[in-house]
Amino acid sequence: MDQQKIFSTLERILESEVFVSSFRAKALLKYLVDNSDKGEESDFSSYTIALDVFDRDQDFDPSLDPIVRVQMGRLRVLLSKYYLQEGSNEDIIITIPRGSYKPRFSENEVIKSPNSPEKKQTTNSSFPIVHVSPLSILKNDVEQTSNYFKEVLFSRLLRTGFFKLTDKNDADFYISYFMNEHQFGINIKDKNQKGIITNTFDIDENNNTIEKLLLFAQTYLDGPYGTLKEEIETLEGFNWIKKFMDFENIILEKGWLEYVGDLINRLEKVLATTKNSFIASVLVKYYHIDFQYNLLNFPKGLERADELYAIYNKETSDFLVENIWRKIYQADYKGASKVLNKLKAIQGKHFETLVQEMLLAGYFGDEKTFFELKNKLLAFTEQLPSVCSSVEAFLILLNGEKASVELLKKLEEHLFFFNLFLLSKLSKTDDLKEKYSSSLLESVPTFKDDPIKLLSLWGHPDLIKKII
């Protein structure tokens, strides 16, 4: 690749508005590009970078000083932001792949081939169709059916908007439920009426009424995190759902925040073809994530989120969740608390909504509800989104307790500003606390000007003031 083009691109990046005040990121990027043709990937080590760029001493230990990991993550986010904004028409794309510190250079294929078939193709944005049968109840060797169970579940799935529903034989999945005195079960067949999932659950005090079973059934089935996740991803026509879930995984589980902007752009394209309220709620969520993690890929992201909220809001649990976050961003904490009470009263939520309700309980310091919901969610999955660890650590700090080694490791896996703050307070040694505090100020220089304002995105300001 033409070296002159690479260095011309580098110069524009370093002089851009995105990088204007990010002095460490500029120094790091310049160093990486300047040395990109001088060694193998193994030569771009944390140790070498720490000494050459960040003026660390020769006794630098990357396990004790996160400076390189923090700044490399920040650089990836800033590069993504640059190409979403000022650099959208650049010929050369500079990236720092995950698992490597050596930069990659590629041509912008959209600019290179503006009339390519990929640009012209439409987005296939189908949703899976499900058929729900009445609940079969076996009692005293007599079988009965409950249309009430079917109709209520049907209406709740309809409100969420992830599944299309049918009473005809044209479904992608056929779902039937059954129960006896001791067990509740689900059978799912594919479009060819071949059984693909059968599960039974013991009936106890948590699911011993029809209403409790309805709540359990919806959480188990509904939304992209439901039990049909893997089956949906393999079906023709739902590839966009698989791509969305892949993005969710790398953003929410792995903490690769540089992909948030790309996912938002993709969701905008899906929404343009579907006008679907569920997609709109997810898009609002990611505009909020862009703001809450202080990424700011979209300067008018919150305005766009408000537009979508006004157009698509159906008072579903998904939109109630995002309305609560809207009010938090507006510092309307009483209004947020009022809507949260409304959310709690809703009967019928899918997995993602319950996760959000748990995070909001943590935001307001409601430890009891947070852990009740956590235990409830762990009945459906072995792993919760990584952000749940952040909120749990916040509650531990609030109570003056010590964090476990396991929890601290989870925080260290995703070094965005809130986790850096938590690690600066909860780490096991004063030296580590100081290292994380320094990394926080180096990666977010504005933090020292008004820390409460930034941290209040993650915890109520009255609680933040207690731990700051």
Report if residue 15 sits inside a domain: yes
| pLDDT, position 383 | 85
| pLDDT, position 322 | 96
Domain co-membership, 104 together with 150: no
Domain co-membership, 146 together with 93: no
Report if residue 47 sits inside a domain: yes
Q: How many domains does the chain fold into?
A: 2
Residue with the two structure tokens 């909860």: 426
Taking residues 23-29, report their average pLDDT: 95
Report if residue 154 sits inside a domain: yes
The separation between CA 322 and the C-alpha centre of its own chain, rounded to angstroms, equals 13
Domain co-membership, 7 together with 92: yes
Domain co-membership, 90 together with 171: no
* Helix/strand/coil percent split, the chain, to 5: 55, 10, 35
| pLDDT, position 183 | 92
Domain end residue (candidates: 229, 259, 277): 229
pLDDT range class, residue 38, cuts 50, 70, 90: confident
Report if residue 243 sits inside a domain: no
Q: Domain containing 184 — which CATH number?
A: 3.40.50
pLDDT range class, residue 118, cuts 50, 70, 90: very low
Least confidently predicted of 9-13, 97-101, 369-373, 461-465: 97-101
Residue 371, pLDDT above cutoff 90 = yes
The DSSP 8-state label assigned to residue 253 in this structure reads I
Residue 119, pLDDT above cutoff 80 = no
Q: What percent of the chain has pLDDT over 70?
A: 95
Report if residue 273 sits inside a domain: no
Range of the domain at 223: 129-229
Domain end residue (candidates: 95, 120, 145): 120
Domain co-membership, 107 together with 205: no
pLDDT range class, residue 255, cuts 50, 70, 90: confident
Domain co-membership, 10 together with 79: yes
Please state, in angstroms and rounded to a whole number, the distance separating the CA atoms of residues 323 and 306. 9
Q: Which two tokens stand for residue 157?
A: 């799935």
Domain co-membership, 100 together with 150: no
Report if residue 240 sits inside a domain: no
Taking residues 178-202, report their average pLDDT: 93
Over the stretch 128-176, which tens digit does the pLDDT of each residue have? 999 999 999 988 888 999 999 999 999 999 988 899 999 999 999 999 9
The chain-wide mean pLDDT, for the chain, equals: 91
Domain co-membership, 108 together with 155: no
Domain co-membership, 146 together with 105: no
Report if residue 37 sits inside a domain: yes
Please state, in angstroms and rounded to a whole number, the distance separating the CA atoms of residues 66 and 45. 13
For 466, list phi and psi in degrees, rounded to 5. -75, -20
Domain co-membership, 59 together with 22: yes
| pLDDT, position 43 | 66
Domain co-membership, 134 together with 116: no
Please state, in angstroms and rounded to a whole number, the distance separating the CA atoms of residues 272 and 235. 22
Residue with the two structure tokens 């996912």: 263
Least confidently predicted of 74-78, 186-190, 232-236, 265-269: 232-236
Q: Which two tokens stand for residue 240?
A: 């966009």
Over the stretch 290-348, which tens digit does the pLDDT of each residue have? 999 999 999 999 999 999 999 998 788 999 999 999 999 999 999 999 999 999 999 88
Cα–Cα distances (Å) from 250 to 81, 153, 238, in that order, read: 17, 31, 19
| pLDDT, position 348 | 82
Report if residue 221 sits inside a domain: yes
Domain co-membership, 111 together with 155: no
| pLDDT, position 258 | 95
Q: What is the DSSP string of 165-214?
A: E-SSS--SEEEEEEE-SSEEEEEEEETTS-EEEEEEEE--TTS-SHHHHH
| pLDDT, position 315 | 81
Domain end residue (candidates: 97, 120, 143): 120
